[in-house]
Structure formats: C-alpha cells, structure tokens
Amino acid sequence: MRKKLQLVATLGALAFSIQGYSQQRYLNEVFSTVTKTSNVIYGNNISVLTSTPVAADITMDVYEPTGDIATARPLVLVLHTGSFLPAIANGQATGSKTDSAVVEMCTRFAKKGYVAVAADYRLGWNAISGSQDVRTGTLLQAVYRAIQDAKNCVRYFKNDRATANTYKIDTGRIAIGGLGSGGYVALAYASLNQTTELQLGKFLDNSTIPPTPYVVQSVYGNFDGTDSTWAPGTPPILMNIPNYANYSSDIQMVFNIGGAVGDISWINAGEVPVVALQCTQDPNAPYETGAVIVPTTGQFVVEASGSHDVIERIQLDTIDNNAIFNNSLFNDVYTTHANTLNGGLEGLYPFVTPAPGSNTCLDGSTESEQGSPWDWWDEAYFIAAYNAYSGTTNGSIVNCKQKLSNPDMSATKGRLYIDTIQGYVAPRMVCALDLPGCTPNPAGVKENAGVSNLNIFPNPASSAIHFTAKGNAIQTVELYDVTGRMVKQVSGLNVMEYTIQRDGLTSGLYITKIKLNKGGIVTKRIVLE
C-alpha cells in the first residue's frame, strides 16, 4: 500500500509542477467550460455484432471549448477501449465513448482549445471460439472495421468543413489517439496501409487450402473503407458502405495509451509521428512484443508489439517518422521523468506501477499487474448492469475481478494518470500539428539515436557518459543545456571510445552532439540524475 500511495503522490507532484510552458492555448487549459454535443451520427456501415450483417449508424460525442471564436481549430479523436465488444457484455466496466477516462481526455483537450471527439466504432468478434483461426481472424476483422470507422470520422469533419462548417475544423491539423483497444486502432490507422501487411503468415487462415488472408479487401473494403464491397452468397451480402469517399483520411499524428500494433513490420518510413504511453507490466497488451490473449478465457489470439517496440523501431531503425519530436525541445517534468525510464526513446512514456498486492475475489482470482490505471467507473452501476445483462448475481465478483488489475481504482487516481498523459502528449501534439508553442532543439540538429556505429551510455547518467564508435572515429563531443548554451566541448579526438565527466553539472536534460570522422553528426538527449 505504501508503494501505491507513493506512486499517486509522484503523479500528483507531476500534475502540479508543469515547468517550461506558459499558459497558452493547446498546451494548457485556457477555457473553463466545454460544450458537448452527444450522439452525432458520423457514418453508417455494416455491423456484425449480432452475427448477421446489418447497416447501423455510428455515433460520436463532440467536445468544443465554450465561447471559442477561432474559425480553424485542430481536431483530436479519442477512441475507447473494450476488447472490441460492448461494455458489460465484454465483462468489463469500460467499452464506450462515455467511459470516464475518454470523457476526461476529451474535456481536457477541449479546454486546451481543440475540438475533441469521443467516437464509437463497430464492435464484434468471436472471442470465445475454440479455434485460433476464428479468434485471430475475427479480431483482425474487428480492428479493420474500426480503422475504417475512424477514417470515416475524419472524412466527416473534412466534409463538414467544406459544407456547413459546423465545427470549424482545421482539416490539416488532426490527431487520433486511443486507450487500450482504441490504441490498437490508432496505431493501425497510422501503419496498416499495404496489402502485403495483411498477408503475413500469422494473418492467414490455415483452415483453408491454400491459406487465405483473414481480411480480404474485396469483401471488407479498402483501407479507407471508401468502396462498396460484397461477400459471396446467394444473394451476395453487402459488407462495406462508403461514407464521404471523396475526402482524404490523412491525419498528422497518433498517440497510443495501452494498445499495441498487429505486427511491428507495419511501422514503416513516411508514416505519421507516434507517441506511446503504457504500463511496463501491462497484462492486457504486450509492452514489448508478445502474446495477446482473451481476458476472460486466457486463450491466445495473436502476437503483437506494444509501445516500447513501436517507438524503438521508429527511433532506432532510423525510420525517422518522429523527426519532428527529435527536432524539438521538451523541458517539462513529464518528459524529464519519462527520460529516466525510456532508455532514450523519445516519444515513449513507461508507467511503472506497483507490484501486485494480496487482494483476492470470491472465485479465487488474485491481484494482477496494472494495465489501465487511468480508468475508473461507478461500481454500483456496473454491478447492477452486469446482473441485468447476465441474468445472474455475479456482478460483484466480476467487478472485483476488474479491480484486481486496478486495485485502488478511483476518479482521483484516474485523473492523476490523465494529468501525466496530457502533460506528455500535449507538447508533442503541438509540434506534430505545427501549432504555436513548439520549441526547436537548441542543438540545431535533429536527434538521431539510431546510428548503428555509435553507442552512448548510460542514459540516464549519474557521473559520466560513455561514447563508443565502430568504424567511424569520434572527432568532437559537445554538450548543451536546455537553453542551448554549450556547457562542454572536446575536439580533435579521433578516437573510437571517449568518456565525458559530469564535473558538477546540475541534474536535468542535456543534448549531446557528436561529430564523426566519416561525416555525420549524431545528437541525443541525455538525462543527468
């Protein structure tokens, strides 16, 4: 319990000590109230939730800063969690656009001056099938439909801008983020864009001869969902309805909170910047690369890659999609804290949660690692709703099991985590959307953590920083503080290894610039503890 209280206290300290940013729109909450328009229909498409394909409206809640007079506002879409099944029916208290964390996120973004949208998307897959092909196939199809819905939502606002202009959106400044399952959708929105990515071995139905892709685009539609498609049958079954097909689905950034990407190879150069936050011991989605399982049955579904490996691929494989972040300076306390945990992977915020305690439920379930500590819910409502849905009196046990991975669940705790999420995401969103408030990197050159012939360690450092090169000698090492002032410089080295001493430098963020013999400059953020 002491560790849990210390964690909440740390989050609280972060929440009340935002440094380096003035009170300005998009970085801080400059509006006191928000206007919410509920259940706006943004599309109509084929749902398979009841197993019979049928056309259904898809809705969203729109949050706007009250009294705002701006006429071209950036847009943020927030996608909910829920394991691609409806709340309550999925055995969880979350799973809709009215989840407490989603409402809080949208309200915070709107107070910062964005138009924020909590969007529902089509749900439904066979999570309890005894066949892995059925589980994996129907889940991938569910993710695919949700991507199409998110893109449809983006096109809705682009159509609105060109016609009624109800929401006054700057359609060149759009970000999409998701929590849990919504994070899967956001990451796939940014990265699933080549037919070959649907044809990887793990995405083939091995019950057919020859194996066939789980997602056949001639049946389920193209990546944007802008074509009419039919499943074979007598008569054929309509499977995709295009909405606002004449508009682009392009966005400028995604952020993931507790989700994963279907395969790390989906991440390729030329895609939008990504920010990712996740619990390092997340039991629901791998933080690195690992198995995704059905929460209620423990059955394997597919191997996926979480926040760490996504950002590592972007940063260390020189894909360079996050160049805008590497070219920018973030000196807030959230970034400083993240940099003590993320191994120098800019754009990654690891949540290190307390080890499981000794809580148990009546069915013998015991406390597990935390995966979504930003969630909270009305326990009495959830218990009653589950009892009504299931026709049982098991609601208390199901609620207890939900709390085993969020044992001190409360609105206070959830909001503290959202303080951190917003504090880490907001300055990067400002840069990715080219909004006022983005500070250039004072070293003047983008950080490049992925040069394979140079190793910089440790990071964070306490007393000294070591540089080792391979096949390309180090010529000059420079160290800058956050104001851009050079605090150390060593030149004329021509060595393969070098160590720079701290020599009384204060704790904080620094930028090191290394010039190499065969050309090239490497810059990297270094944290001194």
- Calculate mean pLDDT across residues 373-391: 98
Are the C-beta atoms of residues 146 and 122 closer than 8 Å to each other? yes
SS3 473: coil
> Token pair of 4, please?
């849990």
Nearest to 447 by CA among 332, 314, 341: 314
Q: Name residue 61's beta-bridge partners.
A: 118
- Tell me how far CA of residue 117 lies from CA of 78, 128, 153, 280, 433, in angstroms: 6, 31, 9, 28, 17
- Calculate mean pLDDT across residues 101-109: 98
Residue 293 to residue 285: CA distance in whole angstroms: 8
Residue 50 to residue 44: CA distance in whole angstroms: 16
Q: What is the CA radius of gyration of the chain?
A: 24
> Token pair of 354, please?
């307390």
- Residue 130, phi-psi category: left (phi > 0), alpha (psi -120 to 50), beta (remainder): alpha
Query: What per-residue confidence (pLDDT) applies to 18?
Result: 40
Query: What per-residue confidence (pLDDT) applies to 510?
Result: 82
Our measurement of the distance from residue 464's CA atom to the centroid of its chain's CA atoms, rounded to an integer in Å, reads 34
Query: What per-residue confidence (pLDDT) applies to 525?
Result: 77
Q: What is the pLDDT of residues 222-277, one digit of tens each?
A: 999 999 999 999 899 999 999 999 999 999 999 999 999 999 999 999 999 999 99
Q: What is the pLDDT of residues 323-369, one digit of tens each?
A: 899 888 898 999 999 999 998 899 999 999 999 999 999 999 999 99
Q: Name residue 360's beta-bridge partners.
A: 366
What domains appear along the chain, each with residue ranges and CATH number?
32-352+421-432 (3.40.50), 454-528 (2.60.40.1220)
- Tell me how far CA of residue 36 lies from CA of 42, 54, 75, 228, in angstroms: 15, 29, 14, 33
